[in-house]
């Protein structure tokens, strides 16, 4: 398996623009997590899905952020409109509810810069 795949790897955009980050989890994993990493706040859980259903979105900072998981192999995190304070590395991770049920496998991350 190729592991968790994220795209794009880097994104530079201007304030006010819409940004869409994409994630493909490991095949067979039924949990998908979105994290934001900054120097000041570390790794923050934004939202997670179980079987494509959002379970907890309490970490989503505000209404400008939205996430979807239309099927088991794809998820998006959208920021509209983007602001400079959204600049961070965004990680997607997946895990399975069976077998070794606890380990989260992280993708390579998307480095977002909003100017």
Q: Write out the residues near another protein by the rule CB under 8 A.
A: 30-31, 33, 41-45, 48, 50, 55-56, 58, 91, 95, 97, 101-104, 106-109
Tell me how far, at minimum, the Cβ of 48 lies from another protein, in Å: 7
Cis check: omega of the bond before 105, within 30 degrees of 0: no
CB 97 to another protein: min, Å: 4
CA proximity to 72, closest of 102, 49, 55, 47: 49
Task: Tell me the two tokens of residue 10.
Answer: 């880097």
H-run or E-run covering 17: none
Give backbone dihedrals phi and psi of 56, rounded to 5 degrees, phi first.
-145, 110
Nearer residue to another protein within complex by CB, 58 or 71: 58
Question: Of the two residues 16 and 61, which places its CB atom closer to another protein in the complex?
Answer: 61
Structure tokens at 16: 């006010």
Which of 40, 71 has the CB closer to another protein? 40
The nearest distance, CB 63 to another protein, in angstroms, is: 20
Taking Cα atoms as reference points, which of 110, 107, 41, 58 lies closest to residue 82? 110
In angstroms, give the least distance from the CB of 85 to another protein: 18
């Amino acid at each position: 398996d190729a592991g968790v795949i994220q795209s794009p790897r880097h994104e530079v955009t201007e304030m006010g623009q819409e940004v869409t980050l994409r994630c493909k989890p490991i095949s067979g994993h039924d949990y998908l997590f979105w994290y934001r990493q900054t120097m000041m706040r570390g790794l923050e859980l934004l939202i997670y899905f179980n079987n494509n259903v959002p379970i907890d979105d309490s970490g989503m900072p505000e209404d400008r952020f939205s996430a979807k998981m239309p099927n088991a192999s794809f998820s998006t995190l959208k920021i509209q409109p983007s602001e400079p304070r959204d600049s961070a590395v965004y990680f997607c991770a997946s895990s399975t509810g069976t077998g070794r049920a606890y380990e989260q496998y992280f993708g390579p991350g998307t480095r977002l810069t909003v100017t």
